[in-house]
Structure 1
Amino acid sequence: MTPSTLQGSAPAASSAAVPAPPLAARAASVGSSPVREILALTQRPEVISFAGGLPAPELFAAEPIRAAYDRVLAEEPQRALQYSTTEGDPALRGAVARRLGERGLPTGPDDLLVTTGSQQALTLLATALLEPGETVLVENPTYLAALQCFGLAGARVVPVDSDDEGVDPVALAEAVERERPKMLYLIPTFQNPTGRTLPLARREAVAELAARYGMWIVEDDPYGELRFEGEHEPWVSALPKAADRTVLLGSFSKVLAPGLRLGWLRAPAALRRACVIVKQSLDLHCSTVDQAAAARYLADNDLDAHLARVRDAYRERRDALLDGLSAALPPGSTWNHPQGGMFVWARLPEGYDATELLREAVAKDVAYVPGAPFFAGSPDPAALRLSFTTHTPEEIREGLRRLGDVLRSR
């Protein structure tokens, strides 16, 4: 048999390559963050942006942080540059545990898992807890990246009505009875996007419902140390009825620097162990040197003194924003007065669409975040989130003047 005969007996080669397999359904079904896309529009230095939930970079403790890295790399370079345990640097966990204990939540280092920001903690919890189709209750509106995280896990996300004091306990009780959720996700203090704080009576109602129906509570607290006025509320995690079913998330992003990408979760032992295993599959552990430097910073510096300076600056900026809103927003607009955090939640009169107006605003070198993407249910087109942290009072006043020009032109 000749070579040509052999070739002729083989299947004909395809003239075009077969397409690559498609993305997983969960990846295709969850969109990118509109907030991240808006931030890309506002990178021009002339834009005064109320859009990003970013800490003020000029307030970073850059020199003490640099000194902490220098000391770690000078004194223990072999440890700082090596692999480390998934649970996290013992000294860093010890420092976090002491701060929690000082604020009324007894915690040991072994109760904590260090994460790549509290955003990763959400991913760990969603993976460890949620089966596809299981129900998660959320405040409406709520943190956009949490909605993305739960969507990628295949969860069924059900919004619960909220008012000026946070999640409505009557609506929550009805939703828990009706939906029998696996998890309730809350940002009880200076919530993103609204800046609202849940009062003690409502926190106790949340704990009672969790105990009665057996659901998990995920208490996200990235902003709690940024209080400008009023008294601290206890964590839901500190309430006895919720102690065995509440996960507390924290972050160094808002109190130290987001570039460190360090956060933590405090959880009951069995769930924490499951999160450790999930984290091992994702990244093995957080950066050893970053954890060591953060622990060194906390040992060598007064974080509370640093936070006092940050709070003073943010209070002044919040006040500048609040003082100028009545002149910038159309008559009939409403807004809240947060006691801390990074955000003011505003609503334009009926007929205004904050999303449609955004491109006009950016053309005038001012930006904000429309409220619509933060809603798990029907969005409110007239709502918008205004962050006050990244500009001086003078810049805030100029930004409001520009925003007023856009809104008056409508």
Structure 2
Amino acid sequence: MTPPRRHDDFAAPPPPAAETPCYPFAARARDLKRSEIREFLRHAGRPGMISLAGGLPAAELFDRDGLAAATAMVLRERPAAALQYGMTEGQPRLREALSALLRERGIAAADDGLLVTTGSQQAIDLLARIFIEPGDTVVVERPCYLAAVQAFALAGARLLTLPTDADGACVDRLDDCLGGPPPKFVYLVSTFANPTGATLAHERRLALLRWAVRHRVFVVEDDPYGELRFAGSAVPPLLALAAEVPGAADWCGYLSSLSKTVAPGLRVGWMQLPPAVAEQAGRVKQTLDLHTSSLAQEVAAAYLASGRLPAALVRARARYRDQAEALAAALRCRFGERLQFAMPEGGMFLWARFADGTDTSALLPAALAQSVLYVPGAAFYADAPERATLRLSYAGTPPELADEAAARLARALAAG
């Protein structure tokens, strides 16, 4: 007698494994590599991990009370301005506040050259969009800020690299970049560069401006870290020095952000550009996102108007100084001459190199096994990388963890 059929005998057979559809992505998107840093940060939240990888400001430094008060005031007194669509160029109150910041940095801010952006990363993207045709040349530092390299690659640029040393980009090598069509622009992080922490020397800044005028090549100065100086003497931004080089203001743009000084979650950046460049960038921005968040801009404007930023910067500089000194001392103690680095005067990064040629990409799995994370230097090169390099961020590592971080790195090196 046939046994009765069970309920699950009537279940439909499992569907075949789905294949990923072959979408017709554009080549520029299909060929774009993921950010290695973003991939590394997946590990940062692991229990017990000490992360020296991310370029994130210390969350404890966020002025939560000041930002809460600014937000409450805006929603109470300026709800229409904060919650409505706004001008592509930026909210008037924030533009006024940013112009005041620029004047404090020695930059004469022209209203028709100021454009508020969704973080300085959007500023980089906008300049790439308005200047670069596929195959055009852009000059970047070697090594260079990774997300800028990605933005230029997405636009189809051919990247030429400029060597760097302790005084920043070696601008005397710029003529080496003139063998073919002139570059569309030169991009550099002028002060406390990411990843090297170096600052472009005063005389090199003037030489760069003279070169730009002579060859009619635009210079993009990215300055997210300049306010975080905790040692040494400040060097004026390129756009401030442009007054000393006739015609230089026409060939120089300045980018900055509140991400490292107030809070990255605001996503508020800005550019000061020659008016014709600002107008073109504004048109493209209008097409991309209409405008940067009105709410974020109004909160940022209210916070800047509150007068709390200078004290917040004092706290940040003191904290980063202590953390940089603690990490540097721990590394010297654990590695001696085997790990070479220069002590930074500000910013968030310590750039190091193993004198024995240790490949820091190959070392990373051993470091993760020891619960310490860094970024291999290879991630920052637009050309052949120097594999013995690594970027260490002290911004999120309290002084009391510095020795343990160095000890774990030393154990990883011994195990590898």
Q: Which residue of 2 aligns with 1:196?
A: 198
Tell which deviates more after alignment, 17-26 or 122-131.
Answer: 17-26
Q: Report the alpha carbon displacement of residue 41 of structure 1 after superposing the two structures with TM.
A: 1.7
Matched, 1:249 2:255: yes
- Given the alignment, which residue of 363, 368, 386 partners 1:362? 368
CA distance in 1: counterparts of 2:346 and 2:228, whole angstroms: 5
CA distance in 1: counterparts of 2:410 and 2:331, whole angstroms: 9
Matched, 1:345 2:342: no
Whether the 8 Å contact between 1:115 and 1:263 is mirrored in structure 2 is: yes
Q: Any runs of at least 4 consecutive aligned residues in structure 1 with deviations exceeding 4 A, and if so which?
A: 17-21
CA distance in 1: counterparts of 2:35 and 2:272, whole angstroms: 27
Q: Which residue of 2 aligns with 1:66?
A: 68
Q: Report the alpha carbon displacement of residue 19 of structure 1 after superposing the two structures with TM.
A: 5.9
CA distance in 2: counterparts of 1:330 and 1:356, whole angstroms: 21
Whether the 8 Å contact between 2:334 and 2:410 is mirrored in structure 1 is: yes
CA distance in 1: counterparts of 2:21 and 2:93, whole angstroms: 51
Query: Kindly tell me: are residues 179 and 161 of structure 1, through their superposed partners in 2, closer, same or farther at Cα, counting changes over 3 Å?
Result: farther
Whether the 8 Å contact between 1:250 and 1:263 is mirrored in structure 2 is: yes
Query: Kindly tell me: are residues 70 and 161 of structure 1, through their superposed partners in 2, closer, same or farther at Cα, counting changes over 3 Å?
Result: same
Q: Which residue of 2 aligns with 1:237?
A: 239
Q: Which residue of 2 aligns with 1:274?
A: 280
CA distance in 1: counterparts of 2:171 and 2:178, whole angstroms: 10
Alignment of 1:144-293 (within 5 A): 144-176=146-178, 180-238=182-240, 239-240=242-243, 241=245, 242-293=248-299
- Given the alignment, which residue of 316, 320, 325 partners 2:331? 325
Whether the 8 Å contact between 2:197 and 2:347 is mirrored in structure 1 is: yes
TM-score by length of 1: 0.93
> The residue matched to 2:120 in structure 1 has which SS?
helix
- Cα distance per residue 1:211-250 (max 9 Å; x no partner): 1111110000000000001111111112233211111000
Q: Report the alpha carbon displacement of residue 20 of structure 1 after superposing the two structures with TM.
A: 5.0
> The residue matched to 2:213 in structure 1 has which SS?
helix
Identity of aligned residues (%): 47
Alignment of 1:14-163 (within 5 A): 21-163=23-165
RMSD of the alignment, in Å?
Answer: 1.7
Whether the 8 Å contact between 1:141 and 1:375 is mirrored in structure 2 is: yes
CA distance in 2: counterparts of 1:208 and 1:243, whole angstroms: 11
Whether the 8 Å contact between 1:93 and 1:110 is mirrored in structure 2 is: no
Q: Report the alpha carbon displacement of residue 161 of structure 1 after superposing the two structures with TM.
A: 1.4
Query: Kindly tell me: are residues 407 and 82 of structure 1, through their superposed partners in 2, closer, same or farther at Cα, counting changes over 3 Å?
Result: same
CA distance in 2: counterparts of 1:36 and 1:227, whole angstroms: 26
Q: Which residue of 2 aligns with 1:11?
A: none
Q: Which residue of 1 aligns with 2:392?
A: 386
Q: Report the alpha carbon displacement of residue 18 of structure 1 after superposing the two structures with TM.
A: 12
> The residue matched to 1:319 in structure 2 has which SS?
helix
Q: Report the alpha carbon displacement of residue 264 of structure 1 after superposing the two structures with TM.
A: 0.3
Letter in 1 for 2:314: A
Whether the 8 Å contact between 2:372 and 2:408 is mirrored in structure 1 is: yes
CA distance in 2: counterparts of 1:406 and 1:19, whole angstroms: 41
- Given the alignment, which residue of 285, 301, 305 partners 2:307? 301
TM-score by length of 2: 0.92
Gaps of 5+ in 1: 1-16
Q: Report the alpha carbon displacement of residue 302 of structure 1 after superposing the two structures with TM.
A: 2.7
CA distance in 2: counterparts of 1:164 and 1:282, whole angstroms: 38
CA distance in 1: counterparts of 2:409 and 2:83, whole angstroms: 48
Q: How many residues are aligned here?
A: 395
> The residue matched to 2:227 in structure 1 has which SS?
coil
CA distance in 1: counterparts of 2:107 and 2:307, whole angstroms: 23
Query: Kindly tell me: are residues 353 and 20 of structure 1, through their superposed partners in 2, closer, same or farther at Cα, counting changes over 3 Å?
Result: closer
Letter in 1 for 2:327: L
- Cα distance per residue 1:151-191 (max 9 Å; x no partner): 00001111111122111122223224555211100111000
> The residue matched to 2:228 in structure 1 has which SS?
coil
Whether the 8 Å contact between 2:367 and 2:412 is mirrored in structure 1 is: yes
Letter in 1 for 2:234: H
